[in-house]
Structure 1
Amino acid sequence: MTQNHAVETMLRPAVELYSVAACFSAAVLCVAAPWSLALDSTLGIGAALACASLGAVRLKQASIVLRYRRQMRRLPRYVMTSREIPVSNHRLFVGRGFRWDQRHTHRLMQTYRPEFRKYVEPSQLYQMARRIETRLEFAPFPFSQLPRLTGWDNAFNPVRPLPPVGGLPRLHAVEPAEVDVTLPLAERVGHTLVLGTTRVGKTRLAELFITQDIRRGEVCIVFDPKGDAELLKRMYVEAKRAGREGEFYVFHLGQPSISARYNAIGRFGRITEVASRIAGQLSGEGNSAAFREFAWRFVNIIARALVELGQRPDYLLIQRHVINIDALFIEYAAHFFARHEPKAWEAIVQIEARLNEKNIPRHMMGREKRVVAIEQYLSQARLYDPVLDGLRSAVRYDRTYFDKIVASLLPLLEKLTTGDIAQLLAPDYMDLEDPRPIFDWMQVIRKRAVVYVGLDALSDSEVASAVGNSMFSDLVSVAGHIYKFGVDDGLPGASADKKIPINVHADEFNELMGDEFIPMINKGGGAGIQVTAYTQTLSDIEARIGNRAKAGQVIGNFNNLFMLRVRETATAELLTKQLPKVDVYATSVMSAATDSSDPHGNTAFTSNTQDRVTTTSVPMIEPAHVVALPKGQAFALIEGGQLWKIRMPLPAPDPDEIMPKDLQAMAGYMRKRYFAAIDWWSPMAAQDQNADLPDDLQGLASPASQQERTGP
């Protein structure tokens, strides 16, 4: 209710009800007995209407006060099914809320004053009901049924329990009039950061954003390190409803038998990107920097040779030639000599026939004789080829020394090529019998596809991080190509100015964080990439990168901030320190008495009482308020620093009958394997993570269901 006074007080008795009672009583009297007020019947009806109008106005004012007091303890239920989520081509729906200003800070400060405690804290009857439920939990029948009565979640129950969202409802109740909160789509290209501790609604907010992205027909790429079955289900259901199930891809490291396939190093703009994506996963701190640089050079040599031979690089080929560079050297030499020196093999065979242990150079010991013969021939022939020279420099290393300097590279390649994962990351393009599709980012963007990337970080965090970073690096490369040449480069009627929104949702993105992520958020906006990143705290980002300055660089690239409940004060201050201070009003009663010094006067003393209004400058919100947010609520700093208080709609259950059987089986298995971060230490969790894949999942995906799920 709007008030014209300096100090607004809404936590008070609804005194307007007295006026309402008086007005409606007068209206009844004017109609029933107008003679008692010296009125005739016509004037009585007019007076009754006037009194009823005044009573209606006062009743509306009273209802605002009553609703304000009621919401201080319990907010109205806000539930929405996925079908009811509004979708706009201009704005992104977030939830319901209000723009926070000085009035709300003033109202919030009032709730902490002792005289208003009875309006904010639960009533004595409510507290007594909860104590009775605790004591009668194991009581004999029929007393054990009483908690079911007091815990009945119905509006007619005066002591029904509060919803299990925790926090302080008063943070949102300070504004009775809510509106739909939306974010202009043009602001999303500045990227969005969502911070919140475990199980407070980050995934629900992600579902809201992803649902709208899918229904708008935009590119939607979701990185999910944990493997959330509900998120996978929501994405497929929304793709099905939007008629985009043919554009839906599922890549899951934990379910290789029914996952799409992806070659992280198979597509590149420059050949050096292959080495950067692999060597970028190695440590570059301290003495490891030199080994990392050698690994980069060695992988680059192999990648260049493979491309010259007409082979697409993948992890298996890189690993094979890292272990045995001799075979690649011989193969490329044959390719080179066939084009430039057809008679070279005659001389090489003669050199090879004369080789023995005595005349083989010491640094070439352990190499194949054919390798030694080729190297000696090239030394005499003085032929120049950059790729061949790179391979020559690699085979010249002493075999023992060479194995030592690639020791950091081999473990990474082993992780990425062991077991069934090798089939996902190094797909066989010539195997036409495999129904699992192969995708790359340019194909995904051109098709406006929906991609779910489950990295199964709970099972193997290192492999998940390596694959995620490689995907990010690949996506940055594609973004650079789109920025220069456009999406349809190479196609008829291509235009370099054509840009389409590419929505990237990175859940738990601190686990995927690397040097590859920084250029994506720093420069990817020019190509249409819109990143929405979700994590718990700022410390997670800093711990992952290992550098405070780089962590600040990452945070500085996010223009929109959604802050759910956090447990770290430094994280909360990321929001609160960006807000100005405001003046709040307070009233104080002051009284004084002065004795008279004249014993013969008629006045013994004088007294005065006054109400004084003072102002105090306080922060708009404190970190303690962010820590006390209920689940599903957030403070948002959007549209150039505007502070909004938001609550997201609770999801109504949706059946998953329309999901294919293979995805239903995957979702069920993911539910069993999913654990929140607070339960990672649980022995039962560790035991379940090591369980084998159920037999009913093997071979479950038929070509027909794969075609239905992923499209051609």
Structure 2
Amino acid sequence: MSQSQPVEVLLRPAVELYTVAVCTGAATLCLVAPWSLALSPVIGIGSAAAFMGLGVMRLRQAGAILRYQRNIRRLPRYLVTSRDVPVSQHRLFIGRGFLWEQKHTHRLMQTYRPEFRRYVDLTPAYRLARRLEEKLEFAPFPLSHLMKLTGWDVPFNPVRPLPPVGGLPRLHGIEPEEVDVSLPLGERVGHSLVLGTTRVGKTRLAELFITQDIRRKSAAGEHEVVIVFDPKGDADLLKRMYVEAKRAGREGEFYVFHLGWPEISARYNAVGRFGRISEVATRIAGQLSGEGNSAAFREFAWRFVNIVARALVELGRRPDYLLIQQHVVNIDALFIEYAHHYFAKTEPKAWEVIVQLEGRLNDRNIPRNMIGREKRVVALEQYLSQVRNYDPVLDGLRSAVRYDKTYFDKIVASLLPLLEKLTSGKIAQLLAPDYSDLSDSRPIFDWMQIIRKRAIVYVGLDALSDAEVAAAVGNSMFSDMVSVAGHIYKHGIDDGLPGAVADARVPINVHADEFNELMGDEFIPMINKGGGAGIQVSAYTQTLSDIEARLGNRAKAGQVIGNFNNLFMLRVRETATAELLTKQLPKVEVYSTTIVSGATDSSDIQGSADFTSNTQDRISMSSVPMIDPSHVVQLSKGQCFALIQGGQLWKVRMPLPAPDKDEVMPDDLRQMADYMRQSYTDSNQWWVSLGTPGLQNQDLPIDLLHDHEGTDDASETTST
């Protein structure tokens, strides 16, 4: 197989085997009967060695041809147990593959030519076996057992069925020489976007990345922060995270926050930590619609939430959703309480005047705009209008109560449904934790605490049950994370602690599955500016249209996409999504051959030649795209095109999980994972309660710190 020709043709008979057969016969003859070739025994041995050397070289060339033709029909299995996943301090392992070049486009174009179909298409015997299996599915014995024989998944079965991964094996089989593909960790700060339709391997790729992030240690022996947002609730992903945390000795740093299972979930106050008090109002009002006329109501809602939050902080209370809802509904009580607090410090005798004013009030002398308010509120307003006291918090509360009560209820009407969703039922215990309740052993965490502890957090938002609540909580978490990132960028992680270093950074790996369900305006600054604080976002979604539909703005969707430097494109069904990759690639020149033959009659009747003929092989070049959107649509499951390291295109296939009997989970998490599998895959009986029996009043961190016995089901294995 010579490589000196301009046109490489691998779809042909392995004619090198003829040379191998001749060399084998000649070498045998030289060894057994050198006299027949007029050779001495010593010369015969040397000649046999020369023939065998040539035969081995040609056998290797024939093997490359046969392996290439086999791979474009069926790829070999690629299974790896989780404990065998390589973990590096410098690179992120992705899978096995090759750097896509011009020669691969040329090879792929050849597979579509009709003269090479017999090397690419499935054999007639294979197609016959599959047709027989369809016809014999309900046949009586012994014909029914013939189907099991043809479907036997063993290497020596000549009609062995293909693995259930679909797609075109040729897209990866055109390069038999694979290498390990990895991404330098320094590139991850540029964020990574994974696109792929459902059930093609996005979550498996996420598990591969998360496994390495959990187990990775720096040169100083410190682990990295791992935060996973899982809107729909993937039981296998939860299991993988806990197993890897335990394997790395980090089960004590593992937190589970799940809106669907509050009994065993950790607690989190989305508005309890902030750098500026105005962030509380931004995180809550940011969930409201800002389109059209709704923008004015959102600004009113922001102002009143900010007034309430400032008053709570002045009173020494930590804001949460429950307190904010309570005082937005009844702001009179907060006005009175803060007035007590303020006058106790500034004018202790002011209440005597206020009580006198309150006693003089009746239905006739109460101003029209104050009708419906408590008399003490009206008295406070009259007192403050007569004295020259200035306090920004008191003035804000005063401006709120001066509105007509009916009008006030209307302008905050859009805010109340959101607060109701976030404070209804047991979810209120998670999002508005009672810090003084010592009987509740469920942990309370915030992002700065998680980052300082180098912890692992699984956030299950139960979006299938209530997408709006999931989006609101997810956006609040993102907004809180942006605030923490800003603090880290300015002051470092250990700000305020002894021996703090201002420029200390730690990688914060944020994995957002189905991130289109979570993203809002808060997500954009996190990927735009969070890299300076060490935030490394890996986002997973189906199509570009999901992002645009969520944001409602094409320009914002482009802004989000433009902040991802690394692109992993699995199989997609939307052409526009595939073009996000293909339009960034150059065109390449490919060769094509054309056979030209002709004959010319001779007009010379006296000449010796009656006609002349000629046959030519012409080589031409044409410019074609490196890959087409159709190639992305035809990818097999578990395979992707990766545009990484400044625009290098890699074709990668990810390892599929092999069984690992060592994987154990505590009883409560195993039960929760089982219920997640049942509840999130069957929606026929949606009216049945989805509670978690047997998990009430159990303490997650204590359970996680103990070694529970039990073996989980092995991961399902498939072929690629």
Same topology, TM > 0.5: yes
1:664 Cα offset (Å): 0.5
What's 2:110 paired with? 110
1:64 Cα offset (Å): 0.5
**Cα deviations by residue, 1:311-333 (Å, 9 ceiling, x for unpaired):** 00000000000100001000100
What's 2:691 paired with? 693
What's 1:481 paired with? 487
1:84 Cα offset (Å): 0.5
Cα 1:331–1:686 shift into 2, 3 Å: farther
Is the 1:247–1:447 Cα contact (8 Å) retained in structure 2?
yes
1:655 Cα offset (Å): 4.4
What's 1:515 paired with? 521
Instruction: Note the residue ranges of structure 1 that are not aligned, 5 or more in a row.
Output: 676-683
Give the match's secondary structure for 2:323. helix
What's 1:681 paired with? none
The yes-or-no answer on 1:248 pairing with 2:254 is: yes
Normalised by the size of structure 2, how large is the TM-score? 0.96
What's 2:128 paired with? 128
The yes-or-no answer on 1:233 pairing with 2:215 is: no
Q: How many residues align?
A: 702
2:386 to 363, 380, 383: 380
Is the 2:475–2:523 Cα contact (8 Å) retained in structure 1?
yes
Is the 2:252–2:701 Cα contact (8 Å) retained in structure 1?
no
Normalised by the size of structure 1, how large is the TM-score? 0.97
1:26 Cα offset (Å): 1.0
1:686 Cα offset (Å): 4.8
Is the 1:364–1:396 Cα contact (8 Å) retained in structure 2?
yes
Is the 2:261–2:692 Cα contact (8 Å) retained in structure 1?
no
1:41 Cα offset (Å): 1.0
Cα 1:709–1:35 shift into 2, 3 Å: closer
Give the match's secondary structure for 1:366. coil
1:489 Cα offset (Å): 0.4
**Aligned equivalents of 2:145, 2:543: Cα separation in 1:** 43
1:654 Cα offset (Å): 3.3
1:92 Cα offset (Å): 0.2
How is 1:292-303 mapped onto 2 (pairs within 5 angstroms)?
292-303=298-309
Give the match's secondary structure for 1:175. coil
How is 1:258-277 mapped onto 2 (pairs within 5 angstroms)?
258-277=264-283
Moved more, 447-456 or 649-658: 649-658
What's 2:711 paired with? none
**Aligned equivalents of 2:424, 2:305: Cα separation in 1:** 19
**Aligned equivalents of 1:560, 1:689: Cα separation in 2:** 43
Give the match's secondary structure for 1:637. strand
Give the match's secondary structure for 1:429. coil
**Aligned equivalents of 1:709, 1:530: Cα separation in 2:** 32
Give the match's secondary structure for 1:140. coil
Cα 1:195–1:689 shift into 2, 3 Å: farther
Give the match's secondary structure for 2:200. coil
How is 1:623-634 mapped onto 2 (pairs within 5 angstroms)?
623-634=629-640
| 1:50 partner letter | A
**Aligned equivalents of 1:310, 1:691: Cα separation in 2:** 40
What's 1:149 paired with? 149
What's 2:21 paired with? 21
| 1:135 partner letter | K
1:605 Cα offset (Å): 2.1
The yes-or-no answer on 1:71 pairing with 2:71 is: yes
Moved more, 179-188 or 374-383: 374-383
| 2:12 partner letter | R
Give runs of ≥4 in structure 1 deviating > 6 Å: none
Give the match's secondary structure for 1:687. coil
Cα 1:556–1:2 shift into 2, 3 Å: farther
How is 1:663-678 mapped onto 2 (pairs within 5 angstroms)?
663-675=669-681
What's 2:506 paired with? 500
The yes-or-no answer on 1:577 pairing with 2:583 is: yes
Give the match's secondary structure for 2:567. strand
Give the match's secondary structure for 1:257. coil
2:536 to 527, 530, 552: 530
| 1:224 partner letter | D
**Aligned equivalents of 1:197, 1:657: Cα separation in 2:** 29
**Cα deviations by residue, 1:377-420 (Å, 9 ceiling, x for unpaired):** 11111100000000000000001111111110000000000000
1:708 Cα offset (Å): 4.5
**Cα deviations by residue, 1:107-154 (Å, 9 ceiling, x for unpaired):** 000000111111111100000000110000000111111111100000
Is the 2:442–2:700 Cα contact (8 Å) retained in structure 1?
no
Give the match's secondary structure for 1:636. strand
**Cα deviations by residue, 1:349-397 (Å, 9 ceiling, x for unpaired):** 1111111111111101111111111111111111000000000000000
Moved more, 603-612 or 201-210: 603-612
| 2:124 partner letter | Q
Cα 1:626–1:363 shift into 2, 3 Å: same
The yes-or-no answer on 1:329 pairing with 2:327 is: no
2:398 to 392, 408, 413: 392
Is the 1:250–1:260 Cα contact (8 Å) retained in structure 2?
yes
**Aligned equivalents of 1:686, 1:423: Cα separation in 2:** 29
**Cα deviations by residue, 1:64-120 (Å, 9 ceiling, x for unpaired):** 001001111110000000000000000000000000000000000000011111111
Is the 2:601–2:611 Cα contact (8 Å) retained in structure 1?
yes
**Cα deviations by residue, 1:597-656 (Å, 9 ceiling, x for unpaired):** 334444322221111000111000000000000000000000000000000011113347
**Aligned equivalents of 1:68, 1:707: Cα separation in 2:** 51
**Cα deviations by residue, 1:439-495 (Å, 9 ceiling, x for unpaired):** 000000000000000000000000000000000000000000000000010011112
What's 2:370 paired with? 364
What's 1:680 paired with? none
Is the 1:246–1:709 Cα contact (8 Å) retained in structure 2?
no
What's 2:459 paired with? 453
**Cα deviations by residue, 1:235-281 (Å, 9 ceiling, x for unpaired):** 00000000000100000000000000000000000000000000000
| 1:326 partner letter | D
Cα 1:709–1:328 shift into 2, 3 Å: farther
1:546 to 541, 552, 556: 552
1:696 Cα offset (Å): 2.9
1:699 Cα offset (Å): 3.8
1:657 Cα offset (Å): 5.7
**Aligned equivalents of 1:300, 1:576: Cα separation in 2:** 47
Cα 1:47–1:600 shift into 2, 3 Å: closer
Give the match's secondary structure for 1:258. coil
**Cα deviations by residue, 1:538-581 (Å, 9 ceiling, x for unpaired):** 00000000000000000000000000000000000000000000
1:705 Cα offset (Å): 1.1
**Cα deviations by residue, 1:673-706 (Å, 9 ceiling, x for unpaired):** 223xxxxxxxx51524753314333345577315
Give the match's secondary structure for 2:685. helix
| 2:314 partner letter | E
| 1:640 partner letter | G
**Aligned equivalents of 1:694, 1:498: Cα separation in 2:** 42
Percentage identity across paired residues of the two chains: 77
| 1:438 partner letter | I
What's 1:3 paired with? 3
**Aligned equivalents of 2:377, 2:57: Cα separation in 1:** 97
**Aligned equivalents of 2:100, 2:490: Cα separation in 1:** 41
| 2:433 partner letter | P
1:592 Cα offset (Å): 1.5
What's 2:85 paired with? 85
Is the 2:266–2:700 Cα contact (8 Å) retained in structure 1?
no
How is 1:554-703 mapped onto 2 (pairs within 5 angstroms)?
554-655=560-661, 658-675=664-681, 685-688=683-686, 691-701=689-699
1:707 Cα offset (Å): 5.0
1:24 Cα offset (Å): 1.3
Is the 2:672–2:692 Cα contact (8 Å) retained in structure 1?
no
**Aligned equivalents of 2:116, 2:701: Cα separation in 1:** 66
Cα 1:248–1:624 shift into 2, 3 Å: same
| 2:691 partner letter | L
**Aligned equivalents of 2:591, 2:54: Cα separation in 1:** 30
**Aligned equivalents of 1:322, 1:98: Cα separation in 2:** 59
Is the 1:459–1:689 Cα contact (8 Å) retained in structure 2?
no
Cα 1:66–1:703 shift into 2, 3 Å: closer
| 2:428 partner letter | A
